[in-house]
């Protein structure tokens, strides 16, 4: 794919290969690692706008950034009440961030049934009000959404036009419907329709697990860039591969991630989180099932590191 910068309001990204926000995964250390590997933009896990307004400590923890992060900082907010979105974007908690990304695509029942995430694709007037509320904070505003709720109601182009009209500076389109969750083929045509419907930058999302996938997604949709989600969970070095950068020693990369996660989040969190991440990283290597069993029995990060040390990536 052709690498290029993307202008988002008054901000310019380093390239057009982004790390998509992933609930439970894109913490500060993981975002730093992906940025160092070449990601042109990374986004926090989704954060409740209402939670920020009520000073939830857990919610604010999701907005942690590492001091070394040198790129544009972007946080993702979700919520279906414009008044809370406006209060959240004007709060001190998001002051360090240059971009507010609004989640209008999460398909999970807990979010959807509360009227948030992809449920907003049922109510374009309300979605429009939420974007306008986010714009009141003066920051660049982006929106991530799906192509529709189900296959017989694809509204990617219509929703894209609404986002642009409400003031969004960029949109990211996941090429699956809400009912598909993360399975099935990506609908390139629907993403292309969204791209052709607006003048703001459009980022295509879905099904990128290698450089060839990124090339195919960009070529088939005409989008301005790609956002990598689950592909980054399995192999964060995908950013180096797509961007044509040397892939660093994977074992050293993982060990550093473990140490940094302990540093910023503490031993208990780091042990549980890195067991989960390493289970992704070892997929495909010999005896990975047996290694996973050992990983999930590890009770300290030192034990996790011992397991990783003896592997060949």
| Exposure on the CB side of residue 69, measured as CA atoms within 13 A | 26
Return the closest-CA partner of residue 282 out of 311, 253, 305, 258. 311
- 53 catalytic residue (yes or no): no
CB 295 within 8 A of CB 304: yes
Among candidate residues 75, 106, 243, 271, the one labeled active-site is: 106
- Please list the residues that pair with 268 across neighbouring strands: none
Return the closest-CA partner of residue 236 out of 29, 30, 68, 96. 30
Collapsing DSSP to helix, strand or coil, 282 comes out as coil
Q: DSSP alpha helices (H): ranges in the chain?
A: 28-37, 49-53, 57-61, 82-89, 109-112, 124-135, 156-166, 188-197, 211-221, 230-234, 238-243, 250-265, 267-281, 288-297, 301-309
Rounded Cα distance between 7 and 13, Å, is 7
Instruction: Report angle CA 46, 138, 132 to the nearest 5 degrees.
Output: 70
CB 291 within 8 A of CB 307: yes
> Going by DSSP bridges, is the β-strand pair 202-205/73-78 parallel, antiparallel, or unpaired?
unpaired
Rounded Cα distance between 139 and 171, Å, is 15
Helix pair 250-265, 301-309: axis angle to 10 deg: 180
Instruction: Report angle CA 113, 203, 148 to the nearest 5 degrees.
Output: 35
Q: Which residues are catalytic, by number?
A: 106
């Amino acid at each position: 794919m052709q690498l290029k910068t993307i202008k988002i309001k008054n901000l310019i990204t380093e390239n057009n290969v982004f790390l998509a926000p992933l609930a439970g995964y894109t913490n500060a250390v993981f975002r730093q690692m992906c940025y160092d590997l070449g990601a042109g933009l990374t986004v926090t896990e989704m954060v409740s706008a209402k939670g920020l307004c009520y000073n939830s400590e857990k919610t604010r923890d999701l907005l942690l950034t590492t001091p070394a992060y040198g790129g544009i900082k972007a946080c993702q907010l979700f919520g279906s009440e414009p008044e809370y979105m406006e209060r959240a974007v004007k709060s001190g908690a998001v002051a360090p961030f240059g971009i507010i990304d609004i989640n209008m695509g999460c398909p999970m029942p807990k979010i959807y049934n509360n009227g948030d995430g992809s449920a907003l694709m049922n109510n374009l007037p309300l979605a429009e009000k939420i974007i306008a509320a986010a714009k009141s904070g003066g920051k660049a505003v982006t929106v991530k959404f799906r192509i529709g709720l189900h296959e017989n109601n694809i509204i990617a182009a219509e929703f894209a036009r609404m986002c642009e009209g409400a003031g969004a500076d960029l949109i990211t389109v996941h090429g699956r419907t809400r009912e598909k969750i993360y399975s099935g083929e990506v609908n390139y045509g629907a993403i292309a329709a969204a791209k052709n419907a607006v003048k703001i930058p459009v980022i295509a999302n879905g099904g990128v697990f290698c450089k060839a996938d990124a090339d195919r997604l960009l070529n088939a949709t005409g989008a301005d860039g790609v956002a990598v989600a689950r592909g980054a969970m399995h192999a964060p070095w995908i950013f180096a591969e797509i961007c044509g950068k040397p892939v660093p020693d994977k074992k050293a990369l993982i060990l550093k991630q473990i140490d940094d996660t302990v540093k910023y989040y503490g031993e208990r969190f780091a042990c549980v989180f890195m067991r989960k991440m390493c289970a992704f990283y070892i997929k495909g290597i010999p005896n990975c099932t047996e290694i996973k069993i050992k990983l999930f029995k590890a009770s300290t990060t030192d034990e996790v590191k011992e397991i990783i040390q003896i592997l060949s990536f």
